[in-house]
Chain A
Amino acid sequence: MKLHNISFGNIKRRKGKMLFLILGLVIGISTVVTLLSITQTMTRNIEERLNQFGANIVMVPKSENLSLNYGGIDVGGVSYKVREFDQEQLKDIKTIKNSKNLSIIAPKVLGPVTVKGKNVLLMGVLFEEELALKTWWHKTGGAFPEKENEVMLGSQVASLFGFKIGDTITLSGKPFQIATILNPTGASEDDAIIASLGVSQRLLGKQGKLSMVEISAFCQGCPISEMTLQIAEKFPNAKVTAMKQAVMSKMQSIDMFKSFSLGVSILVILIGSLLVLVTMMGSVNERTREIGIFRAIGFRRGHVMQIILLEALLLGIIGGIMGFVIGNLIAYGIIPIVIKDGAFAGINANLGIVSILMAVALSLLASLYPAFKASNMDPSEALRAL
């Protein structure tokens, strides 16, 4: 016979009351787990979408001139005198603290080339990186360029000069085959000829130079602002800008939902704790006689507290496990309904541990006063009722 036998025996005997107490914990914990799972899925969902939006950090050479361009309208006349930085330097980007969060690094060289007597923007890119970044680039036919003598045309350029896929285009006196023509995107590439980086650098006389670098770094938990500062430190001659607007507005919505979830969780947990407190108090009051006997046969106050708190601990563990399982089941069922294209993020083992610890802490805290009251019960008063 040990004190835990008394706790187990009491739990077994008062199944109904103890189930009620566990219910309080289960409601609290499952609500927290469900809301956290929904928030997690929402965050992941939005992050995945934002990843598809392309670059969110842009690195360009520092310039002392202000831009004379607004909404794609250049009011300063066409000027392709852009400053560059060394391609060799770009490898330093991999040395920033958050380098593991760098998803795609897409360097570019820009400059004018002459086509049929007209100046056209030539954009040199690494096709593999660029196509991974610009998921909205769709070709009208053919295939994306794979060889050095192949180029791709923006829709405006193709239409202006009447080029078709498979035609040959001469750039600075050298012939190139048009591998494909892009569908209109509404962006600058509509007006550009896109060729491989190395070829473009040679055509433009900018070997080893880059005009800009687009970086995709959005991923779960990426500190975009910090990464921007880290890149800027490595490249003092570059202007590094985080395209935070879209991210921020989405994250603000998530933050608001997180605050709401936190509020609801606290409220539900308070109600759950109150339920535990009331049930435990009721259980202690019902056991006045029993506690009197324990004290009379030599149990110390601490022993009585141990019995009550041991019960609370055990019920907390059961409530935590059940709350976690039920919370995940609810989340699994409800997420596809409340989040469009949302899928359950999976069982988070850490959240499971936190749930159990939280339920145990909650149960112990709510049982502290009843346990204290029981341990301080005057045995002679308790026995007077015998």
Chain B
Amino acid sequence: MTQINHLIEIHGLKKKYQSGDISVDAIKQMDFFIDDEEFIAIMGQSGSGKSTLLSIMGALNHPTQGKILVDSLDLYSLSTEQRADFRSEYIGFIFQSFQLIPYLTVLENVKLPMAVTGRTKKIKNQMALEVIDRVGLGAKAHRLPDQLSGGEQERVAVARAIVNKPPIILADEPTGNLDSKTAEEIMLLLQSLNKDGHTVIVVTHNQDVKTYATRSIKVQDGECFA
């Protein structure tokens, strides 16, 4: 019997938040897998536990129970610093509301994930300019984030997420702050990244996102329904 290795495997995942005497089950029970080069849309209403799931998959949030394997690597058996290295190498984050560093230019924001890598300045510049061109902002590389439109800022966030060429891109509500036309452009950009070999996982409540994904997972009340 041949064992199939998935890119991401989630087994018996539970997450409980405790604040004083009050505890909230953000994730009650989840078991699913994601394969390499999939485009997954994790759909759910606000408070359904989808963002918690994303942060756990991104090695940012320790689960209360369960296991998450990425490339057969048990994420939460790693030390804090090893998880930081894992994020640097495997994950590209696209945060809600872009989350660019306001005092850094587009080029510097995109180069940020490479600040802790050993690449030379020349290579860093070359790689950053390549992805900036890819997202269509080549002419605005030296602008500050507040000199860009919302859609352009989102593109910078995408460029920052892919600059280290991570196999997995995690996006939290990437269309949340955009008009429908810009949202469509961003989703097409994510789709093209998926076609280039990135595994894209998007967390959203926007039903339109499903149309770009290869598969969707519904999250409701801390449980998932594939």
Contacts and interface: CB of A to CB of B under 8 A. Distances in A.
A118 interface: no
Determine the main DSSP class of A at the interface with B: helix
Interface stretch (B39-47, B110-118, B178-186, B195-203): B110-118
Contacts of A386: 95-97, 99, 172
Contacts of A289: 99
Contacts of A142: none
Interface stretch (A8-16, A53-61, A199-207): A8-16
Contacts of A9: 101, 103-104, 108
Interface in B63-107: 80-81, 84-85, 87-89, 91, 93, 95-97, 99, 101-104
B60 interface: yes
A229 interface: no
Nearest to B82: A300
A147 to B, nearest CB: 83
Contacts of A293: 95, 99, 101
Given A13-B102, A293-B95, A386-B96, A299 B108 contact: no
Nearest to A300: B84
Contacts of B55: 380, 383
A127 B58 CA distance: 93
Nearest to B93: A296
Q: Which of B101, B102, B108, B111 has the most CB of A within 10 A?
A: B101
B100 to A, nearest CB: 9
A212 to B, nearest CB: 77
B95 A299 contact: no
Given A303-B116, A386-B95, A296 B87 contact: yes
Nearest to B96: A386
A301 interface: yes
Contact of A379 (B60, B85, B96, B113): B60
A386 B97 CA distance: 8
A266 to B, nearest CB: 36
Contacts of B164: 298
A298 B95 contact: no
B101 A290 contact: yes
Interface in B136-153: none
A9 B80 CA distance: 27
Contact of A297 (B104, B108, B128, B160): B160
Nearest to A2: B115
B80 to A, nearest CB: 7
B113 A298 contact: yes
In this complex, the interface size class of chain A, counting residues with CB under 8 Å from chain B, is 20 to 34
Contacts of A299: 84, 88, 115-116
Determine the main DSSP class of B at the interface with A: helix
Nearest to A290: B101
B61 interface: yes
Nearest to B117: A298
A303 B104 CA distance: 18
Contacts of B103: 9-10, 12-13
A66 to B, nearest CB: 81
B14 interface: no
Given A9-B103, A301-B80, A386-B96, A1 B114 contact: yes
A108 interface: no
A6 interface: yes
A302 to B, nearest CB: 8
Interface in A1-54: 1-3, 5-6, 9-10, 12-13
Interface string B162-181: 00100000001000000000
A294 B60 CA distance: 12
Contact of A1 (B58, B84, B102, B112): B112
B81 A301 contact: yes
Given A5-B115, A386-B95, A296 B88 contact: no
B205 interface: no
B124 interface: yes
Contacts of A383: 55, 60, 95
Contacts of B111: 1
Nearest to A13: B103
B61 A297 contact: no
B88 A298 contact: yes
Contacts of B108: 1, 5, 9
Nearest to A287: B101
Contacts of B128: 1
A209 interface: no
A376 to B, nearest CB: 9
B217 to A, nearest CB: 20
Nearest to B86: A298
Contacts of A2: 115
23 contacts: A1-B108, A1-B112, A1-B114, A1-B115, A2-B115, A5-B104, A9-B101, A9-B108, A13-B102, A13-B103, A290-B101, A295-B84, A296-B60, A297-B113, A298-B87, A298-B164, A299-B84, A299-B116, A300-B116, A383-B55, A383-B95, A386-B96, A386-B172
Interface of A: 1-3, 5-6, 9-10, 12-13, 289-290, 293-303, 379-380, 383, 386
Top 7 A-B pairs ranked by shortest CB distance?
Answer: A298-B88, A1-B111, A380-B61, A13-B103, A298-B87, A297-B113, A380-B60
